[in-house]
Amino acid sequence: MMKVIEGSHAVAHAVMCCRPDVISAYPITPQTHIVEHLSQLVADGKLNTEFLTVDSEFSALSSLVGASVVGARCYSSTTSQGLALMWEVLYNSSGLRLPLVMTVANRALGAPLNIWNDQQDSVGARDSGWIQLYAENVQEAVDMTPQAYKIAEDPDILLPVMVCMDGFILTHVYEPVYLLEQDKVDSYLPPYRPAVVLDTANPKTFGAFVDPSKFTEYRYMQWDAQIRAKQKIVDAALDFQKIFGRYYGGLIDTYHAEDAEIMIVTMGSVIGTIRDCIDSMRAEGIKVGLTKIRSYRPFPAEALQKALKDASVIAVIEKDTTVGNQSALLTDLKAALYNSKLRMPVLGFTAGLGGRDITVTDIRKMVEISSRAKDGVAESDYQFLDLKKELL
């Protein structure tokens, strides 16, 4: 059923359809509408779940560690400072191999305090062992939710998953969305039945202390599960398509990529603007295309090597930076290309920090700079695209 609905409410509806046993969350802008709507669904008797209103984001994720060890399907949502406060539990829950699912309503990290969108928060958690999926629009954020559970709870994977959606831009937008049908979600997503749980009939120890003789192997198995999750993410998208008829690519997706000389690589809601730009630039004869990252962790190195092999120049645009180096997706991508022997220029552009709009003008400027690099004109290979120099 298609409905004009706020992004947060559409995601809350998707969460409800996944039949979570326990939800635990703490309020933080711009995530609040998701959990408020879930609370209302509980209050209205539409959602049967244990809903915990806790004392912090740290407690939110910690309580889900307890619930998940008992075998519950769990959900939380947070952003920015809240995600940073969860930091210790992020590593702990993925190390414990608990298939939690959490929506991250991407927002800048302070200081300076800023409640608006960028992706510094989840990008900063990229090494925590959580799988990270990035949604382009509300519909994809909705559809990624059952996919996230399917991937997380796969007995071969057992890793937590973040569904990242740009704060305000996607959480607070009203747009037409196909809400998930409960019967279809039920046929897509089987109940969670973990093999080992906290059970008095079969006492087990969880979270033991591991010395140097075995720690590496634990970490390796976690690393290996993320790598193996690549195929599961592709399968989850294809299985979803069979039941719901919607598909957004597996690890990545492409747009006008086949003959693109200038290839833009990015993730999240800016892709909508970029698609429009590509349409108009193509009409002008500019051979520009897009490669969209759906899965940032695991990082789709092989898929990117394949998708980018014929490009003359690559332009990576992202809403984060790595203070002291270049931006995160850019450096990950360059690392993935190095041993593949692909040697086109790769330019990096940080933009849209702290909620600044990435405009059509910005995208065109980036394409122009990239086009000059394609023709051999050397410029800085990393820049803040929308920097107001007069304010420095």
Q: How many residues bind other proteins (CB under 8 A)?
A: 43
Please tell me whether residue 195 binds other proteins under the rule CB under 8 A: no
Residue 95: closest CA among 184, 208, 240: 208
Indicate the burial class of 384 (C-beta count within 10 angstroms; 0-12, 13-18, 19 or more): middle
- Of 7-15, 66-74, 179-187, 297-305, the segment contacting other proteins by CB under 8 A is 66-74
Please tell me whether residue 25 binds other proteins under the rule CB under 8 A: no
Question: Cβ of residue 55: shortest distance to other proteins, in angstroms?
Answer: 3
Q: Locate tokens 């998940």: which residue?
A: 68
CA–CA gap between residue 76 and residue 57 (Å, rounded): 9
Question: Cβ of residue 40: shortest distance to other proteins, in angstroms?
Answer: 19
178 backbone φψ class: left, alpha, beta (φ>0; ψ -120 to 50): beta
Indicate the residue among 192 and 296 with the shorter CB distance to other proteins: 192
In this structure, the strands spanning 346-350 and 382-384 are parallel
Sign of CA dihedral 326, 337, 370, 362: negative
Indicate the residue among 191 and 324 with the shorter CB distance to other proteins: 191
Q: Locate tokens 């979570």: which residue?
A: 20
Phi first, then psi: what are they for 266, rounded to 5°? Answer: -165, 180
CA–CA gap between residue 257 and residue 249 (Å, rounded): 13
Amino acid at site 70: V
Indicate the residue among 54 and 286 with the shorter CB distance to other proteins: 54
The answer to whether residues 138 and 7 touch, using CB atoms and an 8 Å cutoff, is yes
Site for other proteins in 202-231 (CB under 8 A): 202-211, 214
Which residue of 27, 183, 199, 227 would you call a contact of other proteins, by CB under 8 A? 199
Amino acid at site 120: Q
Indicate the residue among 58 and 178 with the shorter CB distance to other proteins: 58
In this structure, the strands spanning 313-318 and 262-266 are parallel
Indicate the residue among 72 and 144 with the shorter CB distance to other proteins: 72
Which residue of 52, 173, 286, 360 would you call a contact of other proteins, by CB under 8 A? 52
Question: Cβ of residue 51: shortest distance to other proteins, in angstroms?
Answer: 9
Question: Cβ of residue 36: shortest distance to other proteins, in angstroms?
Answer: 18
Please tell me whether residue 261 binds other proteins under the rule CB under 8 A: no
Residue 6: closest CA among 147, 118, 141, 135: 141
Residue 308: closest CA among 334, 327, 275, 274: 334
Question: Cβ of residue 262: shortest distance to other proteins, in angstroms?
Answer: 47
Which residue of 96, 271, 347, 353 would you call a contact of other proteins, by CB under 8 A? 96
Which residue of 27, 40, 88, 302 would you call a contact of other proteins, by CB under 8 A? 88
Question: Cβ of residue 2: shortest distance to other proteins, in angstroms?
Answer: 33
CA–CA gap between residue 355 and residue 107 (Å, rounded): 8
Which residue of 25, 67, 138, 308 would you call a contact of other proteins, by CB under 8 A? 67
Binding site for other proteins (CB under 8 A): 21-22, 24, 49-50, 52-56, 58-59, 62-72, 74, 88-89, 92-93, 96, 198-200, 202-211, 214
